[in-house]
């Protein structure tokens, strides 16, 4: 049997085989049926696999090998920033003084942890150019929602109850209109021009006395930097609205440009992307929000402050939108982001941005002759190709993504953003070597040639994985999540 197709653990069961050894019982055996309520005591022995320690070890190792992770191969998933998670972050997050504390401990006993949180806030203030930061939100979308609730509270505190609309460009990340809707606003779509950037004339048409805010994803979902930001800021502020910056992909501009200097009132960051927290099933996220002075009174409470060298949480904040996360947020991710920022330093963070952008532009230009490039301009940290040339030959972008699995790569994001036909959104990140970038480009170029010469090999891919193609709808709607014997 191929090692990847190893039998499932229930099939390896042999009666009486065990993978543990316990010492002899040296206390009286308890009769559970007399201790537990009737009806919940199991009458038959649980049907668990009976296997040796070696079998169980091989079983889980084989399962883990079926996963593709950033530690096992290139992962150019556009928009999701699957960036290397430095291992020093993990050792810091496991320091017993951090890992073993409890959120209900008295503040006086966790001053070190609070200092890390406070310093992280200060670093993020500096990196974003904002006046204050809250670490509470647990993800990027949660940060968007939190900021919009603050913006709503700000307008209402000014007696401005008619600002019900949030303007969202069609090139925004999908969570932007979703967060605005969940925050109770109506969303209005602002069109992009032929260059892929926000059309200022269309923005002017929609802006007015009912505008609560404009949410701008920058770089936008095409990986393009919005060049007319100062004009946009003047238009929206001129109408009394606030400017929100989706900074999930700050790795495209970090240490080069700051949302605060561009006139934005609020920004969220994804610590689990730009700041190397593991994500995508690898751990909880963190979506801190930075705000300018006007919005500070509305920050979620409690707010962490430093009073004469003592760190403490302040609760008495009458205009706060309230707590948005139980306890103090995802502390383990703060530790990783803090370690990353401190180990990189200001010059290191600048280099991150430069390499992220250089790598993306290098790949875009290498692949340009083989695929359509709908927005042919200098990109930031990611770029979007179109598979429409290959579609005419009967091969879809989905097929090419599946074929990439045969080369050992995680495919890029596909069919996103929606404004690119057969889109393929590639984000290499800054840490990959030129050899890795070249090898991935070579694979995609070979696939483009296969589409012309031997399309079946692409249409029927993958050929080397444990299973071929899933019925993705069925897998999502009727997942089989447990092993049923027999
Ligand atoms: C530009 C942008 N905004 C917002 C988000 C949402 O972040 P999260 O998935 O943490 O909610 C993402 C996620 O990848 C993103 O790329």
Residue 249 CB–ligand 1 contact under 6 Å: yes
Residue 139 CB–ligand 1 contact under 6 Å: yes
Region 145-162: mean pLDDT is: 98
pLDDT for res 66? 85
pLDDT for res 370? 98
Q: Could you tell me the distance, in angstroms and rounded to a whole number, from the CA of residue 416 to the centre of ligand 1?
A: 13
Distance CA 168, CA 180 (A): 9
Region 365-388: mean pLDDT is: 97
Who's near 359: CB < 8 A, 6+ residues apart? 428, 429, 430, 432, 437
pLDDT for res 1? 42
pLDDT for res 6? 60
Which ligand 1 atom is nearest residue 285's CA? 10
Pocket mutation for ligand 1, best pick of 81, 143, 173 (most atoms within 8 Å of C-beta): 173
Least confident of 69-73, 230-234, 344-348, 451-455: 69-73
| Percent of the chain residues topping a pLDDT of 90 | 83
**283: pLDDT strictly greater than 70:** no
Distance CA 359, CA 454 (A): 30
Pocket mutation for ligand 1, best pick of 81, 170, 248 (most atoms within 8 Å of C-beta): 248
Q: Which of 387, 394, 391 is nearest to 411 (CA)?
A: 387
Region 150-161: mean pLDDT is: 98
Q: Could you tell me the distance, in angstroms and rounded to a whole number, from the CA of residue 140 to the centre of ligand 1?
A: 5
Distance CA 330, CA 336 (A): 11
Residue 137 CB–ligand 1 contact under 6 Å: no
Region 175-187: mean pLDDT is: 97
Q: Could you tell me the distance, in angstroms and rounded to a whole number, from the CA of residue 108 to the centre of ligand 1?
A: 35
Who's near 247: CB < 8 A, 6+ residues apart? 128, 218, 259, 267, 268, 269, 270, 274
**485: pLDDT strictly greater than 60:** no
Residue 274 CB–ligand 1 contact under 6 Å: no
pTM for the structure as a whole: 0.91
Which ligand 1 atom is nearest residue 81's CA? 14
Pocket mutation for ligand 1, best pick of 78, 137, 140 (most atoms within 8 Å of C-beta): 140
Region 434-440: mean pLDDT is: 98
**4: pLDDT strictly greater than 90:** no
Which ligand 1 atom is nearest residue 144's CA? 4
The residue with tokens 């997942």 is: 479
Residue 285 CB–ligand 1 contact under 6 Å: yes
Residue 147 CB–ligand 1 contact under 6 Å: no
Least confident of 26-30, 338-342, 375-379: 26-30
| Percent of the chain residues topping a pLDDT of 70 | 97
Q: Could you tell me the distance, in angstroms and rounded to a whole number, from the CA of residue 454 to the centre of ligand 1?
A: 37
Mean pLDDT of all residues belonging to the chain: 94
Q: Residue 7: which pLDDT band, with cuts at 50, 70 and 90? A: low
Region 310-330: mean pLDDT is: 96
Q: Which residue has a Cα nearest atom 13 of ligand 1? A: 80
**484: pLDDT strictly greater than 80:** no
Region 392-407: mean pLDDT is: 98
Residue 168 CB–ligand 1 contact under 6 Å: no
The SS3 of residue 307 is strand
Q: Where are the alpha helices (DSSP H) in 5-135?
A: 32-35, 53-65, 87-93, 96-99, 111-128
**298: pLDDT strictly greater than 90:** yes
**319: pLDDT strictly greater than 80:** yes
Q: Could you tell me the distance, in angstroms and rounded to a whole number, from the CA of residue 170 to the centre of ligand 1?
A: 16
Rg (CA), the chain: 26
Region 138-154: mean pLDDT is: 97
**461: pLDDT strictly greater than 70:** yes
**33: pLDDT strictly greater than 90:** no
Q: Residue 32: which pLDDT band, with cuts at 50, 70 and 90? A: confident
Who's near 204: CB < 8 A, 6+ residues apart? 235
Q: How many beta carbons lie within 10 A of that of residue 71, not counting itself?
A: 12
Q: Could you tell me the distance, in angstroms and rounded to a whole number, from the CA of residue 141 to the centre of ligand 1?
A: 6
**251: pLDDT strictly greater than 60:** yes
| Inter-residue contact 314 to 118 (CB < 8 Å) | no
In the DSSP assignment, the letter for residue 414 is: E
pLDDT for res 182? 97
Which ligand 1 atom is nearest residue 246's CA? 3
**3: pLDDT strictly greater than 70:** no
Residue 80 CB–ligand 1 contact under 6 Å: yes
pLDDT for res 39? 86
Who's near 442: CB < 8 A, 6+ residues apart? none
Who's near 111: CB < 8 A, 6+ residues apart? 310, 311
Which ligand 1 atom is nearest residue 79's CA? 16
**246: pLDDT strictly greater than 50:** yes
Q: Residue 480: which pLDDT band, with cuts at 50, 70 and 90? A: confident
């Amino acid at each position: 049997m191929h090692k990847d197709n190893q039998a499932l653990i229930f099939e390896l069961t042999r009666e009486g085989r065990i993978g543990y050894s316990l010492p002899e019982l040296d206390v009286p055996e308890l009769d559970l049926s007399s201790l537990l309520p009737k009806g919940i005591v199991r009458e038959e022995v649980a049907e668990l696999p009976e296997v040796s320690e070696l079998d169980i070890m091989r079983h889980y190792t084989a399962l883990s090998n079926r996963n593709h992770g950033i530690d096992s191969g290139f992962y150019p998933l556009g928009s999701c920033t699957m960036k290397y998670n430095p291992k020093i972050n993990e050792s810091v997050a496991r320091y017993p003084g951090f890992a073993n504390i409890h959120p209900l401990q008295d503040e006086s006993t966790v001053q070190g942890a609070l200092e890390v949180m406070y310093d992280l806030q200060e670093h993020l203030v500096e990196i974003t150019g904002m006046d204050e930061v809250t670490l509470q939100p647990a993800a990027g979308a949660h940060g968007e929602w939190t900021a919009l609730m603050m913006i709503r509270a700000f307008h209402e505190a000014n007696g401005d109850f008619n600002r019900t609309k949030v303007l969202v460009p069609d090139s925004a990340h999908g969570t932007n209109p979703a967060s605005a809707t969940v925050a109770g606003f109506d969303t209005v779509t602002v069109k992009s021009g032929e260059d892929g950037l926000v059309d200022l004339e269309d923005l002017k048409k929609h802006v007015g006395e009912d505008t609560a805010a404009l949410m701008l994803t920058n770089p936008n979902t095409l990986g393009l930097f919005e060049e007319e930001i100062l004009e946009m800021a003047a238009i929206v502020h001129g109408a009394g609205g606030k400017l929100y910056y989706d900074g999930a992909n700050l790795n495209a501009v970090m240490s080069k440009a700051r949302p605060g200097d561009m006139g934005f009132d609020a920004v969220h960051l994804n610590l689990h992307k730009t700041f190397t927290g593991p994500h995508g099933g690898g751990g909880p996220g963190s979506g801190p929000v930075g705000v300018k002075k006007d919005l500070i009174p509305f920050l979620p409470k409690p707010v962490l402050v430093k009073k004469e060298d003592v760190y403490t949480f302040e609760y008495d904040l009458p205009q706060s939108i309230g707590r948005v996360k139980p306890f103090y947020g995802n502390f383990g991710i703060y530790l990783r982001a803090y370690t990353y920022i401190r180990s990189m330093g200001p010059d290191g963070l600048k280099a991150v941005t430069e390499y992220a952008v250089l790598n993306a532009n290098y790949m875009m230009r290498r692949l340009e002759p083989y695929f359509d490039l709908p927005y042919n301009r200098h990109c930031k940290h990611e770029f979007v190709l179109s598979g429409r040339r290959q579609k005419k030959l009967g091969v879809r972008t989905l097929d090419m993504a599946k074929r990439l699995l045969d080369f050992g790569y995680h495919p890029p994001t596909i069919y996103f953003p929606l404004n690119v036909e057969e889109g393929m959104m590639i984000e290499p990140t800054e840490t990959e070597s030129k050899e890795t970038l070249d090898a991935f480009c070579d694979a995609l170029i070979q696939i483009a040639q296969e589409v012309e010469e031997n399309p079946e090999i692409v249409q029927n891919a993958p050929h080397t994985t444990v299973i071929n193609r899933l019925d993705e709808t069925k897998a999502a709607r009727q997942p089989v999540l447990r092993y049923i014997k027999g």
